[in-house]
């Protein structure tokens, strides 16, 4: 079972939910936590994992063998990202624009282009108690998080439960993180910003055809419009977390809800049971 | 004309609430919402849309089923796993066009992709340039660059003193696109370990792109020990912390009323944000005979 924890708006409590869910389930079955928020990964702050391995994430960028190159300009013509400029005696490559599609090297008539790896980040893996932990980290100054996310997701273990912490927003990194999952948990807050971004994020998940449910964090603040929206759209509200000084203080110190207030563990296992029910029900419907 | 961009690394630290107040406090400014992925500034500034444009960016592959011989070459070649069962999975397609070039049956064409919309709007506090990225589109930073370009052109036309931009969370393409070439970055953080961790990374990005940065600690009283930690860290880094804003429910109340906090009530939060804006203005004001680089912090 792959559960993605997403939000649209940043700072609504994705990390809080993802880490507490993982900790609450770890005694029941194999649990894996994958932090796909590679621009700002935070799960490690809460789980303090032992990092056992680290692997560089590279994207293939072209290198031109000037002795073979006839400066025909084919590579520049085929590059959709304008990452290659060909002069009469020289080829200029802009690696930060390259997406690594491979068209230039394949289509070069002189076979003058090879590909070399350019490091854009790392994927670290390890464990926190019995939780398998994986996180991606985009290098500072690099623009493209998607290849790092892809690499993190290669480590998804099909056995047991995999929890994916998704970056905020609604665009490509979010799609890459959620894609292929069984369920998407949307964490939001009951404010106009929370609602606006929830609606956008739900639209994104809908394009992927993945079932979703909502967690409302900091209930007691804001207004009741998020609940109204969920009712109207038939989105199940699976858990609510109140606006509470103690919860905020724990979070600020990097302590999860499952550890700082153990009574929450049962609520998170209950949350998982409801997700399981929804996913099972759906697969029964699909079979029919 | 000076351009201030408000960033944070971590989401939800209060960027948009601060920007909306700046909009209300600044005279002669143009406003830009660079968080095109999950834009919220319009909820506080209540814009009336004056101009609306489509944003076309990149291409997506399209397979003509009648011509396709199902040879599978495109599927093998695509590095983005964007072709499955001889169909294009458009959310995965990065528009490189490799498949269209190699298809032996000539069955693949590339079509232009409508990636979103952008708007020029009137608000009570000045012109706002904002955008909406299409659902599940790639946020390459191009739409952000376009928003900034429009804001700059408008600011020049109106002889505005400031451009105030609301930045996206994170450190990737849209952040780089919002930041490069700005006069100043204001980093809004919160006294949580996540907030500190993300502040460190976004500060590195500012250094990398050579934009001077200032820090503001929002909800500072949630954990005062962490507030001291941030102040210490910033001191070691030679970055000034220019404001502490307390946690107060009025921020959300103002949001529910669709107003910048400074227009909603006169409490401690509003006073601090007022001081914060004065501080920002002071940093942006280049004194006579002083080069811009001299005010770098």
CATH class of B58-114: alpha beta
Minimum distance, in Å, between the CA of residue B130 and any CA atom of chain A = 15
d(CA B177, CA B279): 25
In tens, the pLDDT along A129-148 reads: 999 999 999 999 898 999 99
Rg (CA), chain A: 22
pLDDT of residue B289: 47
Q: What does CATH list as the number for B2-46+124-295?
A: 3.40.50.300
List, by residue range, all CATH 3.40.50.300 domains of chain B: 2-46+124-295
- Fold exhibited by the domain A66-111: Alpha-Beta Plaits (3.30.70)
Chain A contact for B200 (CB, 8 A cutoff): no
Minimum distance, in Å, between the CA of residue A151 and any CA atom of chain B = 12
Sign of CA dihedral B257, B242, B152, B58: negative
Instruction: Quote the tokens at residue A133.
Output: 């932990």
pLDDT of residue B136: 81
pLDDT of residue A288: 78
Q: What does CATH list as the number for A2-57+129-287?
A: 3.40.50.300
Measure CA B195 to chain center: 17
The HSE-up count of residue B293 (CA atoms within 13 Å, CB side) is 1
Minimum distance, in Å, between the CA of residue B200 and any CA atom of chain A = 10
pLDDT in tens, chain B (297 residues): 999 999 999 999 999 999 999 999 998 899 999 999 999 999 999 999 999 999 999 899 999 999 999 999 999 999 999 999 999 998 889 999 999 999 999 999 999 999 999 999 999 999 999 999 998 888 778 999 999 999 999 999 999 999 999 999 999 999 999 999 999 999 999 999 999 999 999 999 999 999 999 999 999 999 999 999 999 999 999 999 999 999 999 999 999 999 999 999 999 999 999 999 999 999 998 654 455 444 443
Beta-strand relationship, A50-64 and A113-128: antiparallel
Judging contacts by C-beta atoms under 8 Å, the chain A residues touching residue B98 are 78, 101-103, 106
Tell me the average pLDDT across A276-281.
95
In tens, the pLDDT along A2-25 reads: 999 999 999 999 999 999 999 999
Question: E strands, chain B, where?
Answer: 2-7, 29-33, 48-63, 83-84, 87-88, 108-123, 126-133, 162-166, 184-189, 213-218, 241-245
Query: Does the interface ipTM go beyond 0.85?
Result: yes
Q: At what angle do helices A192-208 and A225-233 cross, to 10 degrees?
A: 20
Model confidence, pTM: 0.92
Q: Nearest CB to A140: which of B16, B59, B204?
A: B204
Whether A141 and B205 lie within 8 Å, measured CB to CB = yes
Helix (H, G, I), strand (E, B) or coil at B288: coil
Q: Domain locations in chain A?
A: 2-57+129-287, 66-111
d(CA B296, CA B292): 7
List, by residue range, all CATH 3.30.70.20 domains of chain B: 58-114
pLDDT of residue B288: 43
**Cβ–Cβ contacts within 10 Å for residue B281, how many?**
16
């Amino acid at each position: 079972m792959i559960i993605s924890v997403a939000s649209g708006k940043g700072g609504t409590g994705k990390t809080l939910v993802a880490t507490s869910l993982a900790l609450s389930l770890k005694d029941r079955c194999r649990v894996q936590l994958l932090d796909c928020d590679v621009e700002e990964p935070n799960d490690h702050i809460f789980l303090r994992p032992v990092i056992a391995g680290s692997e560089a994430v590279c994207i293939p960028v072209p290198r031109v063998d000037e002795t073979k190159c006839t400066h025909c300009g084919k590579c520049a013509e085929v590059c959709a990202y304008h990452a290659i400029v060909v002069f009469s005696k020289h080829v200029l490559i802009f690696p930060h624009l390259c997406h690594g599609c491979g068209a230039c090297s394949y289509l070069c008539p002189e076979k003058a282009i090879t590909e070399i790896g350019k490091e854009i980040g790392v994927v670290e893996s390890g464990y926190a108690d019995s939780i398998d932990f994986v996180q991606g980290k985009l290098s500072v100054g690099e623009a493209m998080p998607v290849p790092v996310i892809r690499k993190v997701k290669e480590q998804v273990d099909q056995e047991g439960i995999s929890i994916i912490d998704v970056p905020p927003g609604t665009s490509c990194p979010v799609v890459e993180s959620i894609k292929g999952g069984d369920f998407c948990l949307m964490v939001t807050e009951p404010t106009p910003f929370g609602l606006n971004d929830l609606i956008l994020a739900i639209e994104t998940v809908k394009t992927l055809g993945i079932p979703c449910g909502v967690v409302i964090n900091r209930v007691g603040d804001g207004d009741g419009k998020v609940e109204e929206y969920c009712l109207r759209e038939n989105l199940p509200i699976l858990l609510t977390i109140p606006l509470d000084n103690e919860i905020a203080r724990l979070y600020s110190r990097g302590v999860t809800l499952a550890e700082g207030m153990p009574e929450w563990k049962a609520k998170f296992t209950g949350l998982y049971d409801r997700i399981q029910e929804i996913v099972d029900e759906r697969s029964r419907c699909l079979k029919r | 004309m000076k351009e201030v961009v408000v960033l944070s690394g971590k989401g939800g630290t209060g960027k948009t609430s601060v920007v909306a107040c700046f909009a209300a406090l600044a005279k002669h400014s143009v406003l830009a919402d660079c968080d095109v992925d999950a834009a919220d500034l319009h909820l506080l500034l209540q814009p009336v849309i004056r101009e609306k444009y489509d944003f076309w960016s990149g291409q997506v592959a399209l397979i003509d089923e009648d011509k396709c011989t199902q040879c599978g070459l495109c599927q093998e070649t695509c590095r983005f796993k964007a072709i499955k069962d001889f169909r294009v999975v458009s959310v995965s397609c990065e528009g490189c066009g490799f498949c269209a070039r190699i298809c032996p049956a000539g069955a693949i064409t590339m079509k232009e992709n409508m990636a979103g919309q952008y708007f020029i709007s009137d608000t009570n506090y000045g012109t706002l340039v904002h955008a909406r990225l299409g659902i599940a589109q790639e946020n390459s930073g191009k739409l952000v660059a376009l928003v900034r370009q429009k804001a700059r052109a408008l600011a020049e036309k109106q002889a505005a003193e400031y451009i105030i931009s609301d930045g996206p969370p994170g450190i990737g393409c849209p952040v780089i696109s919002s930041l490069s070439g700005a006069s100043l970055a204001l980093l809004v953080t919160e006294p949580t370990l996540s907030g500190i961790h993300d502040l460190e990374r976004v500060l590195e990005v500012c250094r990398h792109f050579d934009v001077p940065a200032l820090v503001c600690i929002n909800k500072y009283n949630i954990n005062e020990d962490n507030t001291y930690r941030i102040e210490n860290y910033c001191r070691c880094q030679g970055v000034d912390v220019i404001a502490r804003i307390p946690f107060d429910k009025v921020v959300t109340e103002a949001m529910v009323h669709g107003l910048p906090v400074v227009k909603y009530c006169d409490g401690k939060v509003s006073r601090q944000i007022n001081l914060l804006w004065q501080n920002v203005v002071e940093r942006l004001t280049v004194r006579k005979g002083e080069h811009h680089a001299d005010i770098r912090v």
